[in-house]
Amino acid sequence: MIAATTFGIDGPVLSARERDFHRQAQPWGFILFKRNVESPEQLRRLTSELRDCLGREAPILIDQEGGRVDRLGPPHWPTHVPPLDEAAGAPLPVRAAALKDRYRRIASDLRATGIDVNCAPTLDIAYPDTHPFLRNRCYGETAEDVAVLGRAVADGLMEGGVLPVMKHMPGHGRGRVDSHHDLPRTDAPRPVLESEDFAPFRALSDLPMGMTAHMVFEDIDPTAPATASPRVVQTVREQIGFDGLLMTDDIGMNALSGTVEERVAASLAAGCDLILHCNGDIDERERVAAVVPALAGRAAARADAALALRPRETAHA
C-alpha cells in the first residue's frame, strides 16, 4: 500500500532507522529542507536512496520559492530576489516573462538533483497588512497580477520538468499572524473572498496539486482552519473548481491544535487527500504512520493523475 502522507527526513543522509521505517510505512513521497541539503552530489545520492528504499519513483518535494524561502542556496545554487520584488514596477507581461524564465531555471536545478515537485506558485495576495512571514513571497497585490504571475511560475516549472503545488488554498494573504506559531483568522465576507482571494486559485484550478492554508475563514467556517474544515474544502472543490490532489500544509505547525493524530484525523475528515508532515522527528513520523490510511479512491486517482504529468526520465536513473 501507499500511505496518504509525505514525510520530511532528519538530515543529509538517510539513517538505518529511517530507511527501515519508510520501507515499511510507504509514504506517497518526501519533502526536503535545508537540513537535508549539502551539495548537488549529496542531494542526488539522497533522492536516489529515498526512492530506492520505497522501491518506486516516489515524488520528492521541496519549497524552492525563488526568494526568502529557498532550500537550495549558495554556494551551489543562486540566490533570488523575493517574488514580490522581481521586476517590480515593470509591465505585467514583462514580470510574467521574468518569473517564467526564473522558475524554468529553478526547475532545471531541481531536476538535476532528483527533485520533481516544487511547492509553488504561492497564489496568496499581498495585502498591506499581510504578515511579513508571507508578504514578499507573494507575486502581487491584486488578484489579476497574482493569477497571471502564478500561471507564469507554474508554466516555467512544468516546462522544466517539475510539478507545481499551488498554495495556500483558498488564500492566506489576509493572515496577520505567522501560522507557524499562531492561528490566523479573517472576517472578510465571503463575496469579497470569492472575488479577490479565491480568484487566483480559480484561474489556476487546472493545476495538478494544491496545499491548504492553516487559516480560519470566519464567514465560511468560524470553528476550524481551512485544513480541517469540510466547509472550506468543499469551497475549494466546488466554488474554486479544484479537482487536483489537495495536501495539507505542514501539520506540525502551531496554527493547528490537538495531538498529531487528531490533526491527521481532522484533515482527512475535512476532505484533504494527503497529509504533509515536515519535521525530522521520526518518533512523530511513526505516530502519523500509525493512523494515516492508504491512499485510495478519489485521492489515489488525483495522485496518479498528478504524477502522470512528470517526465518519464528521472535525474537519478
| Catalytic positions, written as ranges | 180, 249
C-alpha cell at 191: 463575496
Give CA–CA dist 66/300, Å, rounded.
30
3-state secondary structure labels for all residues of the chain: CCEEEEECCCCCCCCHHHHHHHHHHCEEEEEECHHHCCCHHHHHHHHHHHHHHHCCCCCEEECECCCCCECCCCCCCCCCCCHHHCCCCCCHHHHHHHHHHHHHHHHHHHHHCCCCEECCCECCCCCCCCCHHHHCCCCCCCHHHHHHHHHHHHHHHHHCCCEECEEEECCCCCCCCCCCCCCCEECCCHHHHHHCCCHHHHHCCCCCEEEECCCEECCCCCCCCHHHCHHHHHHHHHCCCCCCEEECCCCCCCCCCCCHHHHHHHHHHHCCCEEEECCCCHHHHHHHHHHCCECCHHHHHHHHHHHCCCCCCCCCC
Distances (CA, A) of 123 to 120, 157, 164, 178, 198: 8, 15, 12, 17, 9
State whether the Cα torsion 172-178-183-186 is positive or negative.
negative
Write down the residue that cell numbers 512544468 correspond to: 158
Burial of 301 (0-12, 13-18, 19+ CB in 10 A): middle
